[in-house]
């Protein structure tokens, strides 16, 4: 059996990294940029930090910002039409997971028009050509969409989210500049940070985990445990510090891992909550993370013990089970410290069967290290009901 690693061709990290964007475009001979960004980022001038650099370099660009927090099939199809009309030959996406996921789907379909329905991209899509050349600039520290081969689209008609996995969608260039994350409010800093922690822990415990991705995931867990509380405090105070920079790196490292080995039941259930109730993805992941860890503990106790150490827990003298329990407790404490909700009030008892079925059908579920049945997933959802 062979293991595969897919990463960006180039990535830039650190304050001021966005200054590298014009050069990357010019060196490749592209002439017009399709800027795909979140409408709020446009409104508050965050996107302008990048488009201003394009203006200074004399690079033409056109903006597309018709993107919802959970991007829809229609968002993607409208974007494909807008790209064609713009005359652009490359993409720069500025935003969180929603903007980057939309840009990925647009870029793939432009080069593979036979997938214009979008739904046919679900799962491992058999596309033939790499997406339009894309530079991804994250503005949140959580999704790691700038480095992954995954993206998630919402099917409004069928009330579900679907995951697309495609090596052809990975942005060639990632620009991880913590200064682009400076406007994140405390709540978003917390939820996206917990999303990154979920990526790292699920990636470390998934069926496909192996030595190289283990290295990424354990380092990401360590960095998140050290930096998330500080990053949230910095967001509240408005005073920049090392927490934000630490989280920018941590979430990228987590993406380097999970993109190549998959996730598990936490993300499968979280996607379902977002599709049915519009629950913010990071919040859904965070609420479910200790529950999923507890469920998986019988088959991954040793790995959860490693998670405890990475989170800074002194496990000397503990049994494996005790250390695994300490990891779960540490996750609960971190979630509480950054004010993540413990319940999803939108869940209705008469919808539990449907959301359980949807979670088991999600593309992330097969990677879970322990099998679950319908009734089990219902009980897991009940643990976050009001």
pLDDT tens digits along 300-316: 999 999 999 999 999 99
What is the Cα Rg of the chain in Å? 20
H-helix or E-strand spanning residue 244 = helix 242-261
pLDDT tens digits along 247-301: 999 999 999 999 999 999 999 999 999 999 999 999 999 999 999 999 999 999 9
State the pTM of this model. 0.95
User: Across the chain, what does the average pLDDT equal?
Assistant: 96
Dist. CA 131–CA 284, nearest whole Å: 30
Distances (CA, A) of 237 to 140, 188, 228, 369: 17, 14, 14, 40
Domains defined along the chain, listed by start: 10-181 (3.40.50.1970), 186-382 (1.20.1090.10)
Distances (CA, A) of 123 to 17, 28, 296, 354: 33, 31, 24, 20
User: Tokens 């018709």 appear where?
Assistant: 66
Under-70 pLDDT residues of the chain: none
Helices (H) and strands (E) in the chain, counts: 13, 9
């Amino acid at each position: 059996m062979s293991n595969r690693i897919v990463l960006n061709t180039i990535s830039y990290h650190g304050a001021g990294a966005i200054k590298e964007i014009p050069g990357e475009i010019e060196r490749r001979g592209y002439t017009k940029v399709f800027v795909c960004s979140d409408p709020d980022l446009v409104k508050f001038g965050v996107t302008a930090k990048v488009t201003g650099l394009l203006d200074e370099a004399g690079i033409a660009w056109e903006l597309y910002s018709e993107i919802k927090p959970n991007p829809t099939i229609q968002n993607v199809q409208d974007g494909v039409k807008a790209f064609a009309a713009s005359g652009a030959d490359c993409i720069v996406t500025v935003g969180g997971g929603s903007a980057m996921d939309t840009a990925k789907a647009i870029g793939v379909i432009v080069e593979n028009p036979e997938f214009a329905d979008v739904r046919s991209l679900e799962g491992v899509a058999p596309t033939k050509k790499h997406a339009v050349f894309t530079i991804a600039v994250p503005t949140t520290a959580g999704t790691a969409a700038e480095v992954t081969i995954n993206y998630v689209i919402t099917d409004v008609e069928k009330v579900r989210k679907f995951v697309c996995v495609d090596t052809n969608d990975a942005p060639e260039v990632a620009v991880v500049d913590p200064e682009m994350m400076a406007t994140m409010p405390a709540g978003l800093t917390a939820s996206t940070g917990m999303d990154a922690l979920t990526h790292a822990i699920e990636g470390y415990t998934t069926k496909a985990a192996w030595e190289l991705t283990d290295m990424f995931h354990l380092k990401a867990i360590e960095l998140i445990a050290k930096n998330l509380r500080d990053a949230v405090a910095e967001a509240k105070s408005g005073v920049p510090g090392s927490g934000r920079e630490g989280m920018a790196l941590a979430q990228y490292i987590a993406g380097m891992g999970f993109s190549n080995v998959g996730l598990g039941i936490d993300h499968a259930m979280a996607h379902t909550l977002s599709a049915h109730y519009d629950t913010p993805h990071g919040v859904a992941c965070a609420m479910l993370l200790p529950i999923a860890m507890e469920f998986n503990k019988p088959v991954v106790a040793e790995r959860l013990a490693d998670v405890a150490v990475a989170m800074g827990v002194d496990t000397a003298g503990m049994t494996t089970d005790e250390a695994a329990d300490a990891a779960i407790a540490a996750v609960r404490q971190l979630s509480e410290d950054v004010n993540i909700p413990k319940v999803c009030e939108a869940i209705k008892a008469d919808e539990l069967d449907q959301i359980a079925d949807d979670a088991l059908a999600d593309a992330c579920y097969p990677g879970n290290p322990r099998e679950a049945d319908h009734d089990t997933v219902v009980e897991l959802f009940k643990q976050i009901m009001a």
